[in-house]
Amino acid sequence: MTKVKIIETRILSDNWYTLKKITFDYRRNDGTTERQSREAYDRGNGATILLYNQEKNTVILTRQFRMPTFVNGNPDGLLIEACAGLLDTDQPEECIRRETEEETGYRIEQVEKVFEAYMSPGSVTEILHFFIAAYTPKMKVAVGGGVAEEQEHIEVLELDFGHALGLIKTGEIKDAKTIMLLQHIQIAGVLKSR
């Protein structure tokens, strides 16, 4: 028996993505019901990937401007991140292959899905599909940088893996999906943090 009965869903904004206010009855463990209201931001689901090169012990990351980080005190708004994108109508693997080429310029061959995670489940509906993939210099088919029509201005970074891990400690990498993927690579022993 479900513990939730939605009473009303009201759209507060559908300018960029959709912000809804949902009023619902929630049945507690003691059997009583309480009425609650929450806002949920629906931007669709996404995929993210960390490219790694075992021979060079490097990873590919990106740097781009993120307005929400700027308004929350990030002085230049630039964020170092793993490549990512929204699924739209694609399957996660199709999406991440497309995004990898658009953002980094690498046409990857094999991808490995490592897990899925909700990134901000208290307010955002998105589930993110996490991937890793090996890259070589021969896979570089374009400069990357994103799609101009989508106003993307992405810098591609090739970093030593140990240096990338150090950027978490110094606070230069603050993006959750990137931290999770870097730590996954370390825990799984894919790369060494020498």
Residues 150 and 97 both lie in one domain: yes
> Is residue 11 situated within a structural domain?
yes
Place of tokens 């307005």: 67
Residues 100 and 35 both lie in one domain: no
CATH number of domain containing 95: 3.90.79.10
Strand partners, 191: none
Residue-by-residue pLDDT tens, the chain, 194 positions: 689 999 999 999 998 899 999 999 999 999 999 999 999 999 999 999 999 999 999 999 999 999 999 999 999 999 999 999 999 899 999 999 999 999 999 999 899 999 999 999 999 999 999 999 999 999 999 888 777 777 678 999 999 999 999 999 999 999 999 999 999 999 999 998 87
Residues 15 and 94 both lie in one domain: no
Residues 53 and 36 both lie in one domain: no
Number of domains forming the structure of the chain:
2
Residues 76 and 166 both lie in one domain: yes
> Is residue 101 situated within a structural domain?
yes
Strand partners, 133: 51
Residues 20 and 65 both lie in one domain: no
> What are the E-state strand segments in the chain?
4-13, 18-27, 33-42, 46-53, 58-65, 78-81, 83-86, 112-118, 127-134, 155-160
Domain boundaries, position 36: 4-42
Residues 11 and 65 both lie in one domain: no
> Is residue 27 situated within a structural domain?
yes
Spell out the residues 6+ positions from residue 184 whose beta carbon is closer than 8 angstroms to its own.
50, 114, 115, 130, 132
Sign of the Cα pseudo-torsion (54, 119, 100, 79, in order): negative
Residues 37 and 58 both lie in one domain: no
Residues 50 and 80 both lie in one domain: yes
> Is residue 146 situated within a structural domain?
yes
| Predicted structure pTM score | 0.92
The rounded distance, in Å, linking the Cα atoms of 82 and 61 is 5
CA angle 173, 42, 10 (to 5 degrees): 140
Closest CA to 62 of 84, 80, 86: 80
Q: What is the pLDDT of residue 1?
A: 64
> 3-state DSSP call for residue 57?
coil
> Is residue 192 situated within a structural domain?
no
